[in-house]
Chain A
Amino acid sequence: MSSRDLILARVRAAVAGVPDVEVPRAYRGTASAAAGAEGLVELFAERVRDYKAVVHVVAEPEVPALVARSVAERPARRLAVPGGFPASWLEQSEIDQVTDEPRLGAADLDAVDGVLTTCALAIAETGTIVLDAGPGQGRRALTLVPDYHLCLVRADQIVAGVPDAVARLDPVRPLTWISGPSATSDIELNRVEGVHGPRTLEVVIVV
């Protein structure tokens, strides 16, 4: 008997006669509020700040100036910019854009100063941004290896809670949920920001 058949047979023998259970879903499900609704932007900004990330809330016309200021302050010169990232948002930035086509090797990726992306959606209650490798987001390693990640979130991408996010996301795509910069509490439970992922996460909310 193959191990597959053996395991399945053991499972069937183990649960024979055990009654099934209904799953009660009395918890808060998807919110009735529309994405980007009043209050969600403030909540999201507050929750992301709790993770010690830098957060800005700006109107669309101010985005190019803000991005330019942010990367200059870092300072970050060579920045990975995935395909589909709105070119207009970079108009005022003095940077060397590095594209990922053809794919950058791991060492090349390690040599850039940072990465600029959009996101698939964001979750207000938990201060989470989710990337799904869609336009402007790039593959997963792109937002991992560089030390600085600037992520732009449109207000209408901010949903209320985790159930709203799960309902909107497509599991076929590779997903990365990001809640603050990389961190560890492994040494005497002291939180240290930045271990292997980007040590600085900057989130720009475009209202």
Chain B
Amino acid sequence: MSRTFLGMPGIASPGKSGQTFPGNAARAVQNSQLRFNLRKATRTIRARRASVVNELPDWAELRQAGKAIKDHTLRNLDTYLIQLEEAVTKAGGHVHWAADADEANRIVAGLVKATGETEVVKVKSMATQEIGLNEALLEEGITAYETDLAELIVQLGDDWPSHILVPAIHRNRSEIREIFADNMSGWGRPAPDDLTDDPAALAEAARLHLRERFLASKVAISGANFMIAETGTLVVLESEGNGRMCLTLPETLISVVGIEKLLPTWRDLEVFLQLLPRSSTGERMNPYTSMWTGATEGQDFHLVLLDNGRTGVLADEVGRQALRCIRCSACLNVCPVYERAGGHAYGSVYPGPIGAILTPLLRGMETELDRSLPYASSLCGACYEVCPVAIDIPSVLVELRARARHPWTERAGMAAAGWVFNRSGRLARLQRIGGQMRTMVPKRLPGPLSGWTDTRDLPRVPKESFRDWWNRTDGGSR
């Protein structure tokens, strides 16, 4: 099987040797602007999330339901995919199946060409980033314009996203001002001459820059947060309104969606429309959610169902739970490693704790980088605690570490802690302790657990231990 492509070729090309997570992280940690931005961002969102999650008396029950709905869907994915295809087709939409990134890109390029257009507008979508759609379209003479403000910053800055929810979080306002002032004119309406670095002024510049494009575009490309098998409905959550612009104004809409985004019934949305906004932006509800079924209001609608390694993950007994992920980014915001290393260190479009498991699961562990990803964690368990679909990221990390022992990791440390990792009950207990420790930061765990704290860095004093970690490995080269 060919390697699954997960974007970011410029940063972590599979062909480039010597790329490792600690190496990338070491460079990132030296960037104080990045560290400052990340710390501010993750702390702010973390606090917001906590307040709106605590407000719901039935959060634990919603989380259990969310987990079970996803597991049930994955168990019966074939049935539900066929049901979805029927429903979308019946509602006037066209369904395409793409086994890998190349096929998806070919299908989309073909659909765009059939319209005669050479420009498309895009809604932020992890799936299309994953398959490198923009680059593939460019090779076919089609320019894709990102319309999410953060994606626009990333695109104009010729850069890569670093966070699932706020992809340009590594940029500060004066950098953004410069990017807009220098590059907007090359892509369309230039930035105003007197552009300041006030966030409202920057947002206004983006509004003006994109408005004409929205009004003129004939083809749009989106992803989707959910697809309902029973009804054929697609659901997109967003904040800015660029999603609604793309979903409603153009004559042709092409949605590229991973096969795991399915939910069996319309009713299941009552769970996920509570779990996702609160976990993601920390709001009771995001400003805009669009739902449409098939060809709507006279539009030509195409759905491209994407595998690209997902069925491989589904076959993985331990790893398949990663397919429950609804891309809320809560696990990024609580991760002490992400907070210091930033998103680019993970070398794929999926950063943070979920990326540390999803990337090697999807892409395999043939490269140094992918083998190092399962070690991009202190196993503190905070990601598991906040995950709205209860993905046990620490357990998957441990399993992946066992599959790809890394030369520069402390084998001895892993072995000493082995008895903990072998027993799920103990691991779960330990994760709970780890979660509580995030506020207490004790030096050592008592008794037999001391072996674990002695070799695991972050539950102690995260900042120092992370540095210890990459210092010890000489920036990952050892």
Chain A residues with CB under 8 Å of chain B are: 2-4, 6-8, 10-15, 18-29, 47, 50-51, 106-107, 110, 123, 125-128, 133, 139-141, 144-145, 162-163, 165-167, 171-172, 174-190, 192, 194-198
Contact = CB atoms under 8 A, between A and B. Distances in A.
Given A20-B75, A140-B297, A179-B283, A195 B202 contact: no
A183 B103 CA distance: 35
Interface of B: 37, 40-41, 44-45, 57-58, 61-62, 64-65, 68-69, 71-72, 74-78, 81-82, 91, 97-99, 103, 147-150, 153, 166-169, 172-173, 176, 199-200, 202-203, 206-207, 210-211, 214-216, 228, 231, 233, 239-242, 244-245, 247-249, 259, 266-267, 269-271, 273-274, 281, 283-293, 296-297, 305, 307, 311-312, 314-315, 320
B307 A167 contact: no
Given A24-B68, A127-B284, A196-B210, A15 B241 contact: no
24 contacts: A7-B97, A10-B314, A15-B74, A25-B61, A26-B65, A110-B215, A141-B248, A144-B245, A145-B215, A172-B231, A174-B292, A175-B289, A177-B291, A179-B285, A182-B287, A184-B149, A184-B239, A186-B168, A187-B199, A195-B207, A195-B239, A195-B242, A196-B147, A197-B244
A99 to B, nearest CB: 17
A127 B285 contact: yes
B240 A163 contact: no
A175 B203 CA distance: 26
A171 B233 contact: yes
A54 to B, nearest CB: 15
B333 to A, nearest CB: 11
A171 B291 contact: yes
Contacts of A181: 287
Contacts of B315: 10, 13-14
Contacts of B150: 184, 186
B241 A144 contact: yes
Contact of B207 (A106, A176, A196): A196
Contacts of B166: 185-186, 189
Contacts of A18: 75
A20 B41 contact: no
A51 B297 CA distance: 29
B241 A20 contact: no
Contacts of A167: 267, 270
B71 A21 contact: yes
Q: Which 10 A-B pairs have the closest CB atoms?
A: A197-B241, A196-B241, A10-B311, A14-B315, A179-B285, A177-B289, A27-B61, A195-B240, A14-B314, A186-B150
B78 A196 contact: no
A198 B240 CA distance: 10
A174 B297 contact: yes
Given A21-B71, A107-B215, A189-B40, A172 B293 contact: yes
Contacts of A26: 58, 61, 64-65
A193 to B, nearest CB: 9
A180 B266 CA distance: 24
Contacts of B202: 187
A206 to B, nearest CB: 22
Given A144-B245, A171-B293, A192 B199 contact: yes
B270 A166 contact: yes
Contacts of A28: 57-58, 61
Given A15-B314, A162-B273, A186-B166, A196 B240 contact: yes
